Amino acid sequence: MFRTENRMERRRLVIAMYGLYLVTFAGLATANKTVALLALLPAAVSILAFVAVMRFSRAYTLRASPYEAPRPDERQARVRDFAMARSYLILAVIAISCSGLFAAVADDPAWWHAHHRIVSTLSFAVNFLVLSMPEAIIAWNEPDILT
Amino acid sequence: MATRARRRLVVVTLYGSFLLTGAGTAFSHGRLLAVFPALVCFLAYRGIYKFTRRFAIQTSRHDPVHPDEREAAVRDHAMARSYLVISFLFLLFAGLMGTGQHVRLTDGEWNYVFWAVMLLTSTLPQSLIAWNETDTSSEGGE
């Protein structure tokens, strides 16, 4: 369904994956149930894009067990580590920002009560980012696969 | 910092003194008890930073220090492992929020969490490198 040999196609997949998830989480963050249900439609498309990105990056065996073949070669292992290193920098900025924000509003229970839904939705959004970022970076950067 | 054993001691000192700093601020009536472990923590951080400087984790593009290929690979591998640790903590927090378990902490506790996150994210790759690298002195070989 999605072609991943071409780098431009893969970049469109990554944009679609995160863009549609942004729409999904914006919809889920509202208190309106109809909007929240409608937001699941773009989620379905972005899940397909997510699966395609994961399948492409699978060769780098980000989460394969040591007993599973094939193992990544030296170049793929370097690419994997580079992608995870870049993801780490992004995640560190998010972690510091979130903990700083929570420290700033900790003494205001009304803030938590008013924003609990948004915080919960954001935590799942970051969760998705954590699970997909290295693979998305690999899919974004790898050159075209010539067949 | 030439031998691995000494570097591992510094890494343990870094995180141990940070925990002691938190305990000092939580249990002491003044904050004086926390000053000494905080100072030790800072010194340990400086030591680890000096050792891992050549791996260029925090180097700007204009810095004359450039890692060679092996050092760049070690750096990226350490950051990849650090990514797994930080992402696990994120998933844990998201799980708590998702199950409705509100993370209720006081203002002081959230401040401590903030500084813990700052310390962890800024030292984890360096600590892994300092922990794993082989002895660098000619006398202390494996």
Can you tell me the distance from the alpha carbon of A90 to that of B67, in angstroms, rounded to the nearest whole number? 21
* A6 in Cβ contact with A53 (< 8 Å): no
pLDDT at A100: 83
Q: Scanning every residue of chain B, which has its alpha carbon at the shortest distance from the alpha carbon of A132? A: B87
A34, A62, B59, B135 from A43: Cα distances, Å:
15, 24, 39, 51
Which one is predicted more confidently, A43 or A3? A43
Structure confidence at residue A49 (pLDDT) = 82
Q: Please give the Cα distance from B105 to B121 (Å, whole number).
A: 21
**What pLDDT shows up at residue A101?**
82
Interface test with B, best of A82, A88, A101, A133 (most B CBs within 10 A): A88
pLDDT in tens, A56-104: 777 665 555 555 556 677 888 888 888 888 888 888 888 888 888 877 8
The partner residue sitting opposite B73, judged by closest CB among A78, A100, A130, is A78
CA terminus-to-terminus distance, chain B: 15
**Which of A38-52, A122-136, B93-107, B127-141 shows the lowest mean pLDDT across its residues?**
B93-107
pLDDT at B48: 81
pLDDT band at B140; cut points 50, 70, 90: very low
ipTM of the complex: 0.73
Tell me which chain A residue has its CA closest to the CA of residue B87: A130
pLDDT digits (tens, 9 = 90+) for B12-41: 888 888 888 877 776 665 566 677 788 888
- Chosen from B79, B107, B113 to mutate, greatest number of chain A CBs within 10 A: B79
The CB density around residue A126, as the number of other CB atoms within 10 Å, is: 20
Report yes or no: B92 at the A interface, CB cutoff 8 Å: no
Res. A113: pLDDT tops 70: yes
Please give the Cα distance from A73 to A79 (Å, whole number): 10
With bands split at pLDDT 50, 70 and 90, how would you rate the model's confidence at B141?
very low
Tokens of A14: 């990554």
Q: Which residue in this structure is represented by tokens 């919809």?
A: A27
* CA-based nearest residue in chain A for residue B92: A127
The pLDDT, as a whole number, for residue B65 is 65
Q: Identify which has the larger pLDDT, B72 or B140.
A: B72
Instruction: Mark yes or no for CB contact A99/B117 under 8 Å.
Output: yes
Quick check: B79 pLDDT over 70?
A: yes
pLDDT tens sequence across B46-65 = 888 888 777 765 555 566 56
H/E element, B6: helix B4-27
Q: What sign for the dihedral angle of Cα A141, A136, B130, B120?
A: positive
Of A63, A129, A82, A99, the residue nearest B120 (C-alpha): A99
Taking only the tens place, the pLDDT of each residue in A50-68 is 888 877 777 665 555 555 5
Q: What percent of chain A has pLDDT over 90?
A: 0
Chain B residues inside the 8 Å CB shell of A88: 79-80, 82-83, 86, 125
pLDDT in tens, B83-135: 888 888 888 877 776 665 556 677 777 777 788 888 888 888 888 888 888 87
- Residue B137 pLDDT exceeds 70: no
Whether the CB of B58 is below 8 Å from some CB of chain A: the reply is no
Q: Taking all residues of chain A, what is their mean pLDDT, rounded to a whole number?
A: 78
Give the number of beta-carbon pairs within 8 Å between A and B: 88
Smallest Cβ distance to A96: which of B98, B109, B121? B121
Nearest to B114 among A84, A100, A123 (CB): A100
Min CA distance, A74 vs chain B (Å)? 11
Assess A42–B contact: CB distance below 8 Å, yes or no.
no
Q: Which residues contact A132 (CB under 8 A, 6 or more apart)?
A: A17, A50, A53, A54
